[in-house]
A and B are shown apart, each in its own frame.
Chain A
Amino acid sequence: MNFDFSDDQKQLRDQARRFLAEKCPPKAVRAVLEGKADYDRDLWKGLAEMGFLGVAIPEEYGGTGAGHLELCVIAEELGRALAPVPFSSTVYLAAEVLLLAGSEEQKQKWLPKISSGEAIGTLALFEGTGNPSPQAIKVAAANGTLTGTKKPVADGAIADFAIVAARSGNSGRETDISLFLVDLKAGGVDAKPLQNVDPSRQQAELTFAGAKAEPLGAANEGWSILSRVMDRAAVLIAFEQVGGADRALEMGRDYALDRIAFGRPIGSFQAVKHILADMYVSATLARSNCYYGAWALSTDAGELPEAAAAARISATQAFQHCSKQNIQVHGGMGFTWEFDCHLYYRRSNALALALGSQSYWEDQLIDRMRKKNAA
């Protein structure tokens, strides 16, 4: 047993942290937040040049083929920096679906473009409120075309292609769902950006009016592919959340050391110290759950579904907890637009709902533990 990242992986983390400190300061996040751009194109290009977009994509498809542990390391750093780029949609979701279920031709066509930053991809799953379920999917597939509306779709209006979960049958079972790949630039799709709690990452509505769609993966296998991809992405997003939680804790700590009240740094008051200690506790528990998830992801272990749900729940809690308490420690300053606290608060709440809500993952975790228990 060795429950830590390797020295090489730690070096990669330092490299990513340095890179992001330079290319992705809070100012860059704000530019997107305030609507000056729909994502940070320079940063995106830089991430491609660093080889970060293709870190878990095999060399034959233009990636560096390093692996998923490396991708976890990078995810954490992107989360720390609140990177305003379509990384999770493209890399954790679109690329993973392609790797898992794409045809050789689809992989050859899209994966190199993902690695090089030429193509942005996304997964179009949700149709309004509610949790992921086959029954909730109404977008219909017929004769190689799609009809219906998906929202919210992360990065939907900036993506070049989308992987769409659509209804291909009416048996009332999971097998009614198939996946399709849609070239969003080819016409037949209307993309409308939507307001959301974290405008540093875009959400959109995609309306398909007879858009051309090519099948991705075996027909009627869509839901089982999605389940696997969601578990994999859950671990990666959890690492983003842990990165964000850690940074929020650091910001709170630094402020508590600087700000004087009643003649003392506020960090010397026990009530404040205990807030920060509890932030540390939740961030630490989440990190540990994430490490287990990383191991399960990188080895595709049978434990992955359970590990992914645990990482996801724990990391969501930690990021929400740390980002909300960070504002509290900052007092009035914490509630200003000027201070960066709200950037973390926004992102933590947006990520809490990516891939299904906290209660959805709670349900998943208990189902999986129960199955294991019965086995």
Chain B
Amino acid sequence: MNFDDTPQEAEFRAKARAWIDANAPKQYEEELRKASLGRVQLKGANILEVAKAWQKKKADAGWAVPHWPKDYGGRGATPIERVIWQQEEGVYGKLGALFIIGQGMCGPTMMAFASEDQKRYYLPPLASGENIWCQLFSEPAGGSDVAGLRTRAEKDGDDWIINGQKIWTSGAHYSDYGILITRTDPTVPKHKGLTMFFLDMRSKGVEIKPIKQANGNSDFNEVYFTDVRIPDSQRLGAVGDGWNVSLTTLMNERMSIGANVATGFPELFEYCNSLMLDGGPAIEDRAVRSKLANWAVRASGLKYTSFRAISALSKGERPGPENSIGKLVAGSMIQDVAMYALDLQGAGGVLSGPEDAEAAGKFQAMLLRSPATRVEGGTDEILRNIIAERVLGLPGDIRVDKDVPFNQIPTRGRA
């Protein structure tokens, strides 16, 4: 058990730190520090441009997606070096939010299933932020039940013709490419008739409509496909094997979001150190301390759980379903933390603008964004199922649609 850097790790850290110190966009540091879940805004600057510029700068110096192989735009860093980089990048890491889906999920899927030429062509600009990718999985008929999707792909010569609709697609409106799962055979049970592709989001027949979210932002979209053509060369994995391909994506999703979900704790702790209540500083109040302590150990527990996962990874073990706990714990925690911060603010807690609200409204922004954390990338319930079935070995849920051809599965609950 050793918590300290090895000499090589210390050297890597020093290099990363020096480079960040010399190159980071420091003019945004303060705003990024204040930015909270669901609200990264930079005054007088376009966040997309700032984010892309930072990513490009990192790429030119070899710091973009450090754990990717050199040939694909990375620097072949070890899992631990990846964490060191994230620690050193600190608040500037928040600028990377736009690239998480592409680099965290689409990239690894491409690495596992695309041809060598495709990897060399598509991955470096994904690493450098020049291209943004999105993940076209969920549909109105299939979210938790991804395999219940209905978007059709039909073979036409060397192409596939796509018709259907995706929903909740984060970043589709500024994405250049996407990975897409479709149904190629509706006459077999649902998991067997799926096929995965990647496509250019500007292909003819792709229509993107923003969805206004509960928190007022519009980060996700509906995406419609009308006779969209995808060449067979952009198929990932075998025809009918899309479910397996998607499992690679989802496993990487848990790894890349799992370790990094915001808990809200550092913000709350800092706030309680400055907040004055009737009886004195909040941090001296017995009830406040008890709440803080309980969240503190959840936050540290998550942090060290991810360190354990990384130690296992660096010994060559594969990231397993146990990584589901990161988002499961952090999701409900950040929601509770936000509610508690508002409670501490009393009547004034109802105000939410950056000007009028306490702590620049960061807890109000958290409150309104946090419900999504518990849904996106697998709901709390699905994550519990994964832990129960795949970690603890309990029986799978009874699946009434298991052996039924897809086109015979009922589509509504109450007839």
Whether A and B are associated in the same complex: the answer reads yes
Tell me the smallest distance from the CB of A373 to a CB of chain B, in Å.
6
Most chain B beta-carbon neighbours within 10 Å: one of A359, A363, A369, A373: A369
- Inter-chain contact B312/A4, CB cutoff 8 Å: yes
By a CB distance below 8 angstroms, the chain A residues around B56 are none
Residue of A nearest to B2 (CB): A2
> Is A270 interfacial (CB-CB < 8 Å)?
yes
- Inter-chain contact A3/B304, CB cutoff 8 Å: yes
Taking A3-B311, A273-B384, A370-B283 as contacts, is the C-beta distance between A288 and B389 under 8 angstroms? no
Tell me the smallest distance from the CB of A278 to a CB of chain B, in Å.
7
Give CA–CA (A268, B397) in the complex, Å.
Answer: 6
- Inter-chain contact A256/B1, CB cutoff 8 Å: no
Tell me the smallest distance from the CB of A374 to a CB of chain B, in Å.
8
Give CA–CA (A298, B4) in the complex, Å.
Answer: 13
- Inter-chain contact B384/A274, CB cutoff 8 Å: yes
- Inter-chain contact A365/B308, CB cutoff 8 Å: no
Q: Looking at the complex, which one of A3, A280, A309, A313 makes contact with B310 (CB distance below 8 Å)?
A: A3
> Is A292 interfacial (CB-CB < 8 Å)?
yes
> Is A281 interfacial (CB-CB < 8 Å)?
yes
Q: Looking at the complex, which one of B273, B305, B329, B396 makes contact with A373 (CB distance below 8 Å)?
A: B273
> Is A14 interfacial (CB-CB < 8 Å)?
no
> Is B156 interfacial (CB-CB < 8 Å)?
no
- Inter-chain contact A5/B384, CB cutoff 8 Å: no
> Is B381 interfacial (CB-CB < 8 Å)?
yes
- Inter-chain contact A295/B2, CB cutoff 8 Å: yes
- Inter-chain contact A253/B394, CB cutoff 8 Å: yes
Decide if the interface of chain B is mainly helix, strand, loop or mixed: helix
Taking A273-B388, A274-B384, A281-B325 as contacts, is the C-beta distance between A310 and B297 under 8 angstroms? yes
Residue of B nearest to A290 (CB): B304
- Inter-chain contact A313/B384, CB cutoff 8 Å: no
- Inter-chain contact A310/B325, CB cutoff 8 Å: no
Taking A3-B308, A4-B308, A291-B1 as contacts, is the C-beta distance between A284 and B297 under 8 angstroms? no
- Inter-chain contact A270/B300, CB cutoff 8 Å: no
Taking A5-B1, A265-B395, A281-B387 as contacts, is the C-beta distance between A274 and B381 under 8 angstroms? yes
Give CA–CA (A314, B295) in the complex, Å.
Answer: 10
> Is A375 interfacial (CB-CB < 8 Å)?
no
Beta-carbon contacts under 8 Å, A229-285 to B: 249, 253, 256-257, 264-265, 267-268, 270, 272-274, 276-278, 280-281, 284-285
- Inter-chain contact B289/A363, CB cutoff 8 Å: yes
Give CA–CA (A369, B3) in the complex, Å.
Answer: 19
- Inter-chain contact A4/B387, CB cutoff 8 Å: no
- Inter-chain contact A294/B293, CB cutoff 8 Å: no
Most chain A beta-carbon neighbours within 10 Å: one of B80, B298, B394, B395: B394
By a CB distance below 8 angstroms, the chain B residues around A115 are none
> Is A147 interfacial (CB-CB < 8 Å)?
no
> Is A227 interfacial (CB-CB < 8 Å)?
no
- Inter-chain contact B2/A361, CB cutoff 8 Å: no
- Inter-chain contact A294/B1, CB cutoff 8 Å: yes
Give CA–CA (A324, B387) in the complex, Å.
Answer: 20
- Inter-chain contact B3/A3, CB cutoff 8 Å: yes
Beta-carbon contacts under 8 Å, B328-381 to A: 328-329, 381
By a CB distance below 8 angstroms, the chain B residues around A362 are 289-290, 292-294
Q: Looking at the complex, which one of B6, B298, B385 makes contact with A270 (CB distance below 8 Å)?
A: B385
By a CB distance below 8 angstroms, the chain B residues around A288 are 300-305, 307-308
How many chain A residues sit at the interface, stated as a range, is 35 or more
Interface residues on chain B, number (Cβ under 8 Å): 53
- Inter-chain contact A314/B80, CB cutoff 8 Å: no
Give CA–CA (A257, B1) in the complex, Å.
Answer: 35
By a CB distance below 8 angstroms, the chain A residues around B83 are 1
Give CA–CA (A253, B283) in the complex, Å.
Answer: 40
- Inter-chain contact B301/A295, CB cutoff 8 Å: no
> Is A317 interfacial (CB-CB < 8 Å)?
yes
- Inter-chain contact B387/A292, CB cutoff 8 Å: no
- Inter-chain contact A281/B329, CB cutoff 8 Å: yes
Tell me the smallest distance from the CB of B368 to a CB of chain A, in Å.
26
Q: Looking at the complex, which one of B9, B269, B383, B385 makes contact with A1 (CB distance below 8 Å)?
A: B9
Residue of B nearest to A362 (CB): B293
Most chain B beta-carbon neighbours within 10 Å: one of A268, A284, A294: A284
By a CB distance below 8 angstroms, the chain B residues around A50 are none
Taking A277-B388, A285-B297 as contacts, is the C-beta distance between A298 and B1 under 8 angstroms? yes
Tell me the smallest distance from the CB of A296 to a CB of chain B, in Å.
8
> Is A83 interfacial (CB-CB < 8 Å)?
no
- Inter-chain contact A285/B301, CB cutoff 8 Å: yes
Contact indicator per residue, chain A 1-41, by CB within 8 Å of chain B (1) or not (0): 11111100000000000000000000000000000000000
Contact indicator per residue, chain B 227-260, by CB within 8 Å of chain A (1) or not (0): 0000000000000000000000000000000000
> Is A366 interfacial (CB-CB < 8 Å)?
yes
Beta-carbon contacts under 8 Å, B155-208 to A: none
> Is A89 interfacial (CB-CB < 8 Å)?
no
Give CA–CA (A253, B395) in the complex, Å.
Answer: 11
Q: Looking at the complex, which one of B2, B270, B302 makes contact with A285 (CB distance below 8 Å)?
A: B302
By a CB distance below 8 angstroms, the chain B residues around A268 are 394-398
- Inter-chain contact A285/B294, CB cutoff 8 Å: no
- Inter-chain contact B325/A284, CB cutoff 8 Å: yes
Taking A2-B1, A286-B301 as contacts, is the C-beta distance between A273 and B9 under 8 angstroms? no
By a CB distance below 8 angstroms, the chain A residues around B283 are 366, 370
- Inter-chain contact B296/A369, CB cutoff 8 Å: yes
- Inter-chain contact A276/B300, CB cutoff 8 Å: no
> Is A69 interfacial (CB-CB < 8 Å)?
yes
By a CB distance below 8 angstroms, the chain B residues around A267 are 388, 394-395
Give CA–CA (A285, B307) in the complex, Å.
Answer: 12
By a CB distance below 8 angstroms, the chain B residues around A281 are 325, 328-329, 387
> Is B391 interfacial (CB-CB < 8 Å)?
yes
Taking A270-B385, A277-B388, A362-B293 as contacts, is the C-beta distance between A2 and B311 under 8 angstroms? yes
Can you list 11 A-B pairs with a CB-CB distance of less than 8 A?
A: A3-B307, A270-B381, A272-B394, A273-B392, A291-B308, A317-B294, A365-B293, A366-B283, A366-B289, A366-B292, A373-B273
Residue ranges of B at the interface with A (Cβ–Cβ < 8 Å)? 1-6, 9, 80, 83, 269-270, 273, 283, 286, 289-290, 292-294, 296-298, 300-305, 307-308, 310-312, 314, 322, 325, 328-329, 381, 383-385, 387-389, 391-398
| Given A268-B398, A285-B325, 18 further pairs, Cβ under 8 A | A1-B4, A1-B83, A268-B394, A268-B396, A273-B388, A273-B394, A276-B392, A280-B325, A285-B301, A291-B304, A292-B300, A294-B1, A295-B2, A295-B3, A310-B296, A313-B294, A366-B296, A369-B269
Across the A-B interface, give the 5 residue pairs with the lowest CB-CB distance, nearest first. Answer: A285-B301, A362-B293, A273-B388, A288-B304, A277-B384
